[in-house]
Structures are given as C-alpha cells and as structure tokens.
Structure 1
Amino acid sequence: MTELYRGMDQTALRAAYDNVAAVADAAACMLGFQTRSAELYESVTCRRDIAYGPRPRQRFDWLPCGNAEAPLFVFIHGGYWQARSKEDFAFVASGPLGCGFNVVLAEYTLAPEATMTQIVGEIGTLLDALAADTHGLGTRAPVCLAGHSAGGQLSALYRAHESVVHALPVSALVDLEPIAMSWLNDKLQLTPQEIAAYSPMRHSGHGVPMTIAVGTAELPELVRHSQEYAAACERAGEQVRFVPLAGRNHFTILDDLAEPDGVQMRAVMAAMQR
C-alpha cells in the first residue's frame, strides 16, 4: 500500500471522496432533484441563461421574489468542478425565495475545458456583474453567497467580495490537496499554486460572517473539511457558525436547503438579521 494522504492509498482515497458510491440511492436522488427543478422553473417567475461572459456556460438564472429591495441569494452548484449544471439543482431556490430573497442560480465552465483558476475567476466575474447590475435586474443588493460541495469551495473563496455579506458553504471541499492526489484530478490538473491559492482552509481569515453546513451522514472526509474549516475560522477570529445536520447525507442536505423553514435557511436568516 502506498500512502498518499492521511494514511490512505489511492483506493481508500477514492472511497473517501466518492459521494455517489457512498449513497445507495444517489441516482434516484439526482433524478428527483432534476424533476423538482423542472417543476420549480414552471412555477415561479424567472429569466434563464443570462450571460455574464462570452463562454457558453457563463450564464445565470434570475428568480425574483417580488421585492425589488430584497437581498440576493446566489447559489453555486457542485459536481467536483467537472459535472452537473444549475438546472440539476434549481429546486433549492424554493428555500431562499420563501425567505424573501431574490435568487441567482450560477453556472460556470467545467473542467477540463476550464482550469481551477479560470473557474474561480468566472465566479468573480459573475459577482462583479451582479454588483454592477449590468443586466438591469436590480441585483445591487447584499449577497448571501451559497454553494454546495465544489460550489461550497467557490462560495468560501469569495467571502471578502464587496457585495457579499454572508457566506453559506454547504458540504464544502475546502482543501484541494487530497483532491489533487485522487482520480478527481484527471480533469482538473491542479497545480501547486492553485492548491495553495484556492483552498479556503488555507485562507480562513478576512471575510464576512459564515454559516458552515454539513450532514452528519456524509463521508467522514467531507465532515472533516467542514469541521476543520469552521475551527480554523474561529481561531482566526472570524464570525462563523458550524451547523451539522443530523442524518443528512451529501444529497439530502439540499432537501433541507430547499425548505424556507429548514435548518440552513433559519441559520442564515438569524445571522443576517444580526
């Protein structure tokens, strides 16, 4: 056995980060997400596929709650930076919409077409466009920046953006070192410079207050990421609340986010009201 990371060889490392294999009904969960997302698009007012850049996936959906003065909830989907789309996870917008947020569902270019540096840059471009309200939608509003899994890493990286007032990394991958050692790096091809620059764990200070959520039934490595990141931010003097969701796995944690009265939205509302 060749140890690569924390006593794990390549086989163990794969198992430690394979969320699909870890959840018996993962395929059914994703199909349910897609069905619910299609239903949400049909049931709410929205503008879809608004471009914020020249590349095909540099686009976002705008779902207004009906209050032009409302804060903005920006959600970045997961998929290990190389899979999925905003359309797969649009159903989560029902949670923030029900809490009085206008919602943006963000899309970005996936690896290997884009490097990690380019992906991170695209999220910055999107946030800048929203802050400038370049589309005339009324997006000059305080932002709660949320993301799931890979999207959680992207949300944590932009805690210091001028428009962001709260961050919600959900099941976030905040240390890229083990990612670079695993099969996940086949498409990402992370460089040492990217691992250092884009691992939120290594940049735990200087950002807005944050709610860090993870399911207690997730893979131990995913739980560790969130626990250690929350602890690092606390040591750095940052305002952070660690929110473990009992019995939730990497997929069912999004069911909670889609509920206006769910654990995560209640935590966000309480934090933002303070």
Structure 2
Amino acid sequence: MAVAIYRGMTRQELGVAYSNTGRLADFPGLMRDFRARSDRFYAAHDCRRDLRYGPRARQTYDWFSCGRPDAPVFVFIHGGYWQSCVKEDFAFCAQGPMARGHDVILAEHTLAPEASMTQIVAEIGQLLDHLAAQGVGPLCLAGHSAGGHLAAMHRGHPAVGSVLAISGLFDLEPIGLGQLNDKLRLTAAEIAACSPQRNIGAGAPMLIAVGAEELPELIRQSDDYAGACRLAGERAALLHVPGCDHFQVLDDLADPAGMQLSALAAPDMRP
C-alpha cells in the first residue's frame, strides 16, 4: 500500500500534483507554438544573442533592445523544472516588457542533472554580477515556474530593483520528495538553503503572480510565499491571473496591457 509522504499525498500523487504538462492535451504542440512565436519575435527585433556571463556552455543570455537609450532592463528566466527548456522557447514573452519601454534579457543556465540546484542558483547570481559590472540596474528580475524560484532567490541582489515571480516554486520540500527529484537530486541541505520561503531576508519589492486556473499546489506555493513575505515585513503583492493556467499566464506577460505588467508598474513596486 502506498504511503502518504506530503500533505496526505503518495509519491505518485505528488508527481501528479506538480505535473503542469500532465493536464495538457498537447504539450509538445504548445511548445512548438511557443517556439514559432519566439522565432518570429527574434526575426522582427534587434537582439544580441548568446552573450556570455560565464565559461559553461549554457551560461549565456540574449539582449533585446527596445530602442530607447538607457532603458530599464527586464531579465526573464525560463521554467522547465530546472531540467528542461531553453531561452529560445520564450522570446515571445519579451513583447510586453519591450512595449512598455524595457530592454529585455533572456537568461540561460546549466540544467540538472549536469548542474546541482546550488550551482543553478549560483549561475543566476553570476549573471546578475556580470550585468551589474556593466552598470545595469536597478533591473526587474522575472521568472516563470522554476525561473520564478530563481528570481525569488536573488531578490536581495543589489542590482535587483523589483521581482516578478510567476507560478514559482518557493518551498522545495515537495520537489525533493517527488519524481522531479530523480534528476535534481536535491539534498536536505539544498532544500533548506535554496527554498525562498525558508530564506526571506531584506530584498526588492516583489509581485508574486500565478494563474487562477493552475494546479492547486502551484497556487498554494504562491499564496504561502506571499503570506510569509508579508509576515516578514517585505513588500510582496499577490496576483491570481484570471482564466490562466500555468502556460497561459505567459500570454498575459507578453501582453503590454496584461495584468502582470500593469501590477508591476504600480507605485508600491518601485525600489
């Protein structure tokens, strides 16, 4: 008989509770659409591609210019549970921030199992250090899903002026107990050190966004983290994006008039 290991769920049930792709009829088709939209966006906009911030193969970023000198910078970290996807899949998300006058950087990092969670977190820190050395900042650090986790981990970096954590993972305990850990190989020490909810310090104001139609566990993660940040005295706004699942929330980000970018422009989100 299967044993409950987390919030009354067995390991198999926990896997289902965090399977954003499992509830889609055609996930490969969705990703093909994302890539086609992104390819068109690359073709239509000024972009410096595969700039380097470190020596490893995936320590690169793409920089889209909105055409304004000294434009503020919006950094986006893609999702994929730290073990899949590439920045090139998500260039279409840059449309919204660019239309609002931001340059947009698409960040890449080494994936698991080649890199540990500790190393992945450190690589985003390297990117931010690299950008700060070029005089970039205060920037908006955004990420989706696993990227939302990585953005939250660096809200205290001096180059970060605001954070947009979309559909993020803020307590890694259920990730460490489930099937996602087969590649991640999270240790207890990493779960403690790399869970944003367990390491809330002083940092930039944050918008925590999640689709209102997402998996209950994903919504709970955002709700719990927002509450914990507020209890710690940090500025954290919570937004449930109506009608959006885990992937449709990216369409809202790509919309210049979308709810996330509108909320991010509010006065209380300023550094």
TM-score (norm 1): 0.96
Q: Kindly report the root-mean-square deviation, in angstroms, between the aligned alpha carbons of the 2 structures.
A: 1.1
Alignment partner, residue 133 of structure 2: 132
Secondary structure of 1:19's partner? coil
Q: What is the rounded CA distance, in whole Å, between the counterparts of 2:191 and 2:177 in structure 1?
A: 11
Unaligned runs of 5+ in 2: none
Percentage of matched positions with identical amino acids:
55
Runs (4 or more) in structure 1 with deviation over 3 Å come to: 271-274
Alignment partner, residue 172 of structure 1: 168
**Offset at residue 154 of structure 1 (A):** 0.2
Q: What is the rounded CA distance, in whole Å, between the counterparts of 1:47 and 1:246 in structure 2?
A: 34
Contact persistence 1:132–1:140 (CA under 8 A)? yes
**Offset at residue 195 of structure 1 (A):** 0.3
Q: What is the rounded CA distance, in whole Å, between the counterparts of 2:205 and 2:222 in structure 1?
A: 15
Contact persistence 1:60–1:104 (CA under 8 A)? yes
1:109-166 C-alpha deviation (Å, 9 max, x unpaired): 0000000011011000000000111xxxxx5232100000000000000000001010
Q: What is the rounded CA distance, in whole Å, between the counterparts of 2:153 and 2:124 in structure 1?
A: 10
Alignment partner, residue 61 of structure 2: 60
Q: What is the rounded CA distance, in whole Å, between the counterparts of 1:78 and 1:273 in structure 2?
A: 25
2:178 paired with 1:182: yes
Alignment partner, residue 136 of structure 1: none
Alignment partner, residue 38 of structure 2: 37
Q: Summarize the alignment of residues 112-131 of structure 1 with structure 2, pairs less than 5 Å apart.
A: 112-131=113-132
Alignment partner, residue 81 of structure 1: 82
Alignment partner, residue 14 of structure 1: 15
Q: What is the rounded CA distance, in whole Å, between the counterparts of 1:27 and 1:188 in structure 2?
A: 22
Contact persistence 1:147–1:154 (CA under 8 A)? yes
Q: Summarize the alignment of residues 134-173 of structure 1 with structure 2, pairs less than 5 Å apart.
A: 140-173=136-169
Q: Figure out how many residues of one structure are paired with residues of the other and give that number.
A: 269
Unaligned runs of 5+ in 1: 134-138
Q: What is the rounded CA distance, in whole Å, between the counterparts of 2:224 and 2:166 in structure 1?
A: 14
**Offset at residue 205 of structure 1 (A):** 3.3
**Offset at residue 273 of structure 1 (A):** 5.2
Alignment partner, residue 255 of structure 1: 251
Q: Summarize the alignment of residues 186-265 of structure 1 with structure 2, pairs less than 5 Å apart.
A: 186-265=182-261
Q: What is the rounded CA distance, in whole Å, between the counterparts of 1:8 and 1:227 in structure 2?
A: 20
Q: What is the rounded CA distance, in whole Å, between the counterparts of 2:178 and 2:235 in structure 1?
A: 32
Contact persistence 2:156–2:201 (CA under 8 A)? no
Secondary structure of 1:66's partner? coil
Secondary structure of 1:22's partner? coil
Secondary structure of 2:129's partner? helix
Contact persistence 1:152–1:170 (CA under 8 A)? yes
Question: Aligned partner of 2:253: which letter?
Answer: L
